[in-house]
Every structure is written in C-alpha cells, then in structure tokens.
Amino acid sequence: MKNAPLFPHLIHGGDYNPDQWIDTPEIWDEDVRLMKLAHINSATVGIFAWSLLEPEEGRYDFDWLETVLDKLHANGVSAVLATPSGARPPWLAQKYPEVLRVEESGIRNEYGVRHNHCLTSPVYREKVRQINRALAERFKDHPALALWHISNEYSGACHCDLCQQAFRDWLRKRYHNDIDELNHYWWNGFWSHRFTDFSQISSPKGRGENHVPALTLDWNRFVTAQHVSFLENEIVPLRELTPDVPVTTNMMCLYPGIDYQEMAKHVDVISWDSYPQWEHGRNEQEALTHAFSHDLFRSMKQGQPFLMMESTPANVNWRDVNKLPLPGRQAQASLLAVALGADSVQYFQWRKSRGGHEKFHGAVVDHAGHENTRVFRQVAALGEQLEQLDEAVGRRCESRVAVVYDWENRWATDRYCGYNNVRRDYAGECIKWYAPFLRRGIAVDVISETDDFTRYDLVIAPYLYLLKEGVKERIAAYVQNGGHFVTTYLCGVVDPHDLCYLGGLPAGELKDVFGVWAEETDALLENAPGRASYGGRTYSVDHVCDILHADGAEILGTYESDFYAGSPAVTKNSYGKGTAYYCAFRSDGDFADDFCEDLIAACGVAPDTAIQIPKSMFLRKRGDLIFLFNFTDVPRTAELDRPYLDVLNGAAVEGALTLPVCGYAVLKSSD
C-alpha cells in the first residue's frame, strides 16, 4: 500500500460520469480540455457504471473506461476508480431477487434507485467481488489509477431472511451460544421477554420489537459488522491485484447508521462527503458542524490526512429549497477542510447530467457546457489557490486536546426512554464543547471512547452515557497519571449492554475520580429553564441536569433555581496527578465557552499562534500554514502579532487583517 500523500498536490477533482455520455465521446474530449482550465487533477470514475461495465451477466465491457482513463492520464488527471456496488444493473435484480433489500416492513423492494442492496446476500457479494476482480485485473497497471473508491455512501439496513439469520448467528457468537446470557444482558425478564432459542429473535422494527434498547444497540453493531464484511469482501481482489493502491469509502458526516469509527479501521484513507446548508444567520453554526466532522474524520486515523470526497460547487438538488450559496462560500468551505487535514477538494459533480434525478444538482460544468460560467470560474480560481498549498499535502495534524464523540454512545443516547425524550442531541452537545477550541486557534481531535486518551493534555467527554468496556478504568488511569478530564451530565450511566450501573453514578470508580455522586437527574421544560452560577456569572440550565453531591470535589458552580438551588453544578477534583471536572448541566448559553476559557488557562493548553482573533473567527495551523476564517455574516478582524506572508496572493500582511463575509486567508510567518 502506498504511503500518504497520494499526490504531490492537493487533490482537486470530483465525481465524473463519462458513462452518461457514452454516445457523445466528443464530450469526453471537451471534459479533459475543461478539466485543465479548472485546474482539476483527479476524477472519480465508475461509481454508478455497472450497467455499462457488465451489460449482461459475465460479459464485461471495459474498453470505454480504458479510453477515459487514457484521456485523463494524458491530461495529467489521476483516477479515483470506483467499485460499482452502489447501484446494480436491472438484469442482476431480475435474475437474483435476493440482492434487493427488504425494508423493516418485511416487504422486498422492487428494482430501483440505489444504495439498497442486501448486505448479506451471497449472490450480491459474489457478483460484486467478480466485477471488482475484473476491474482490478484490467486496470492494475493503468498509470491513472491512484485510489480505489469502494462503493458509494454505504447506508441503511436489510431485514430479509438472510439478514435475520446472519443477525442471529452474530448474536450466537457474541453471547457464546447461550440464550440465557443474552436474556441477562438484554434484561429480558422485563415484560416477559425471555427467549428460549435464538430463532425467536429478529431485527428491531416498528411492528415488532422496538422497546428493548439492548436489542437495537446490538442490531446497530450488527449492521456495522455487515457493512464492514461487505466492504472487506469488495476489497479482497483489490488487495490481491493492486496491493499498492489504497482504498477508501466515502462516508457521510455524522450519519448514525454505521459506526464509522469502526469502519475506518478497514480502509487506508478516510474520505467523506460534506454538504453544509448555508443560510444567513446560521452559517457559523453550520461551519462548526462541518469543522467538527473534519476533525472527527481526521482523528479516525490519528491525524492522517483525509479526503473531502464530495462537496457541491454550487447548490444541491435534494433539500426543500436549494438556495445558491454566496459566491466565495464554496472556496471558503474547501479551505476549511484543507486547514483541518483534508488533502483534497472534490466535487459532486464534474458535469451536470442531462437527465435523471440529479440533473439540477450543482456541477462544475453546467448544461451550458462551457467555461464561461460563474461557478466554473470560481472552481478554476480555487484550483489555482490549491496549487499554492503544496506544503499542506500529507501534513498530519497534532492536537493536545480531544473531544470524545462516540457512535455507540450516540446510539444509546438517541434511544433511552427517560429524562428529556425530545432534547438529546448528543452531537450538538459535543460540538458545543468543541467550538471553543476552534475559536481560539487550538487544534482539537475528535475521538472515540476507545481511542488513547494519553496522547492529550485535556480530554472532554460530554454526555458520556454509555461506557464501553474498560473506559472507566482508562479514564481513572488517565487522570491518575496527570490528565485533565471533563465530563458533563448523565456520565457513566450504562455499561456496553445498556444495563444501568448499580451503586450510584457516575459508574464505579468514576465517583472517586470526579469526587461526586450524581443522585438524581432532572429534565427541564422548554419554556422553564433553570439557572446555575459559575465564575460570577449566571447561565441557563437547559433540558437536563444532574443533582450532585460533592464527595471530595471542589465546588466551582452551583444551581440557583428549583429545589436543588445551592447544590453543586460544576465541580473540580484532584485525583492522583490529574484533575477531573464534572459540569452537571446542559446550557444553551455561553457556559461551555466560558468554562473552556478557564480550562485552557488551567491546563496550560496554548493556542498555536499569537494571532488575536475574535471568538467569531476560526483559526487552525497545519504545518507552518495558518488558516483564518470568517463564517459570520459581517466582516471580522484579526490582529496579527507579526508580519506574515499571505500565501494565496503573495502579499505581505501585518497589523489588522479584516476578512469579509466568506473570507479566508492562509498565512505564513515571513521571518
């Protein structure tokens, strides 16, 4: 397998569907002419090309693809070559109906759309493996081939008999073929649910079992496992025939259906598709969500650069209202990805389809077909800028701070019935605790519960409801050895089986680590928030809060409302050589930001530069390059501490640097 970086330059490219233009090959020539003009150096081909690649069973026609790859290569464009499993040809579904997905209703889908195969079907797996092998055999020595793009946006689940059987087999393995072990962990004494045989179990569904949270949690794990084994099956011939070509699969933001932190282990390069919804008044929040996701995807491989496999050069077509983003927004969002560790800016799509469902989705080349469009010019200008940033390529990002976001915890917090059943928003809470660092120019990773805490000076794990195996012990050891650890409400409530910890919360030794006992949890009505004070200020208490006893911890903040007024709301505990903080309430106000300000000082975590930015700007350093952004709706000014070179235009800058709306700058110390 090749080591990163994949290319000497930042990848600038996107999804390219020459198969849609097979009857007009002159368009292919026009494509490569336009790609040059747009500074495109990569094209992702073949994602949805199966019906052309294998027009009838076992008859492959790859000549057209070879012609395309030749043209790309001759014009300095590398190929990200896709395996076509994301959408199957009609003949395959007609001959082997088992490849079609069965929905939760139990009804098998008819042929249509995409991303809807059975994850288990041996026939589908075999057919996919065959075509992948054929592709690898044909193109293994093609000079354009740079990366394998496995399938496309794996998602969903299948409930067919094959999948049910596979689920039961998976459970048998997990519970040592012992149905009583499963009954115990699923707490099946409740509502008379004790199974006597694995054959009695099926997937969770609306008209069946949907009130056993541990069953649903295991189903989520199983669906992830099926996706991973489907992916592995796809990769086998590629590894064998093209061992030097890395593989990726494009993921989707915080999509909850697959544990991406698990899937990440099975690919060489992480890639994801980023589609922010730009909207006046909430652009900054949207940028934060996407920044959080970039940091999350980068952290899946401990700082290794990732790819932004898709983004739109203009608008999308699938929202209710598909507003065009402001000119400059796309470039700004692309640079944000690069700042946070992306080695690419890739688009969906290169050329707009003439017909079909996505014919009005933004593309570099519009139906007009030439380069004289606003969007094309923007893309070309960005391409030129990316060429100035070679020194970012392959640069790993190192952070001393981590925020924990964990897929299994997301599943568990989405699902429990209790406290506040409408306001859970685990991701939102994590983003709230992440933002203060991006706003202060402090690099931050976003890691899972099982990642190594010891790489960081400070770890913040908001709303850490489900503790995976060994996590409480690892938190204790981390703090014991000098780490700073912050958690918030509902910490350490359930074990990996979703069984509540007995003996008081937070679980086990965490009571000693934090020096608190969380005796009760209150939920707040939407129109009746509570109040808590911290550091001389008062904050709203929103949606949920724990009622604490300080058992050794220092009290930094207290509740000011309700029957628990005067009791601890924010605590700090020295444990071993480290410090553990418990912030017992959720606040929609500035609490997390203010608390992090103090925390940063207390933990000695310094910003990566001495540039002064208002909290409304974002700053991140990658290598020697300093990226600054203004995602607000008004101009913002940073105060530079010394003279810098503006890398994108070669100008010297010093003093006040004002970024307009959609503004960004890439600076380098000019010393």
**What is the token pair recorded at 457?**
């000076």
120 binds, among ligand GLA, Zn ion, none (CB under 5 to 8 A by kind): Zn ion
- Least distance from ligand GLA to the Cβ atom of residue 525, Å: 38
Considering the complex, state which of residue 252 and residue 657 has its C-beta at the smaller distance from ligand GLA.
252
Q: Which residues bind ligand GLA (CB under 6 A)?
A: 152-153, 273, 275, 310, 316, 348, 358, 361
- Least distance from ligand GLA to the Cβ atom of residue 175, Å: 36
Considering the complex, state which of residue 96 and residue 306 has its C-beta at the smaller distance from ligand GLA.
306
Q: Which residues contact 162 (CB under 8 A, 6 or more apart)?
A: 98, 118, 120, 121, 122
- Least distance from Zn ion to the Cβ atom of residue 250, Å: 22
316 binds, among Zn ion, ligand GLA, none (CB under 5 to 8 A by kind): ligand GLA
163 binds, among Zn ion, ligand GLA, none (CB under 5 to 8 A by kind): Zn ion
Q: Which amino acid belongs to residue 629? A: F
- Least distance from ligand GLA to the Cβ atom of residue 152, Å: 5
Annotated catalytic residues are 153, 310
- Least distance from ligand GLA to the Cβ atom of residue 31, Å: 18
Helix (H, G, I), strand (E, B) or coil at 108: strand
Considering the complex, state which of residue 310 and residue 449 has its C-beta at the smaller distance from ligand GLA.
310
Considering the complex, state which of residue 316 and residue 653 has its C-beta at the smaller distance from ligand GLA.
316
CA distance 562 to 540: 12
494 binds, among Zn ion, ligand GLA, none (CB under 5 to 8 A by kind): none
Considering the complex, state which of residue 99 and residue 547 has its C-beta at the smaller distance from Zn ion.
99
Query: What is the SS3 assignment for 281-345?
Result: CCHHHHHHHHHHHHHHHHHCCCCCCEEEEECCCCCCCCCCCCCCCCCCHHHHHHHHHHHCCECEE
Considering the complex, state which of residue 12 and residue 361 has its C-beta at the smaller distance from ligand GLA.
361
Considering the complex, state which of residue 151 and residue 573 has its C-beta at the smaller distance from ligand GLA.
151
Q: Which residues contact 422 (CB under 8 A, 6 or more apart)?
A: none
Helix (H, G, I), strand (E, B) or coil at 539: strand
The neighbouring-strand residues paired with 102 are 108
Q: In this structure, what are the phi and psi dihedrals at residue 179, rounded to the nearest 5 degrees?
A: -65, -25
Say how many C-beta atoms besides its own lie within 10 A of residue 635's C-beta: 11
547 binds, among ligand GLA, Zn ion, none (CB under 5 to 8 A by kind): none
Q: Which of 404, 400, 388 is nearest to 440 (CA)?
A: 400
**Size (the chain), residues:** 671
- Least distance from Zn ion to the Cβ atom of residue 111, Å: 15
160 binds, among ligand GLA, Zn ion, none (CB under 5 to 8 A by kind): Zn ion
118 binds, among ligand GLA, Zn ion, none (CB under 5 to 8 A by kind): Zn ion
72 binds, among Zn ion, ligand GLA, none (CB under 5 to 8 A by kind): none
Pairing of strands 644-646, 664-669: antiparallel
Our CA angle for 337, 260, 90, nearest 5°, is 100
> Could you tell me the strand order of the sheet in which 250-251 lies?
250-251, 271-273, 307-310
- Quick check: 485 and 403 in contact, CB under 8 A? no
Considering the complex, state which of residue 272 and residue 433 has its C-beta at the smaller distance from ligand GLA.
272
273 binds, among ligand GLA, Zn ion, none (CB under 5 to 8 A by kind): ligand GLA
Sign of CA dihedral 350, 351, 356, 359: positive
Considering the complex, state which of residue 162 and residue 379 has its C-beta at the smaller distance from Zn ion.
162
Residue of this chain nearest to ligand GLA (CB atom):
273
**What is the token pair recorded at 305?**
């650069």
- Quick check: 303 and 397 in contact, CB under 8 A? yes
Helix (H, G, I), strand (E, B) or coil at 44: strand
- Least distance from Zn ion to the Cβ atom of residue 206, Å: 18
Q: Which residues bind Zn ion (CB under 5 A)?
A: 118, 120, 158, 160, 162-163
Q: Which residues contact 665 (CB under 8 A, 6 or more apart)?
A: 627, 628, 646, 648, 653, 657, 659
3-state helix, strand, coil in the chain (%, to 5): 35, 20, 45
- Least distance from Zn ion to the Cβ atom of residue 163, Å: 3
CA distance 183 to 193: 8
- Least distance from ligand GLA to the Cβ atom of residue 84, Å: 12
CA distance 628 to 332: 10
**What is the token pair recorded at 561?**
């409302």
140 burial level (CB within 10 Å; 0-12, 13-18, 19+): middle
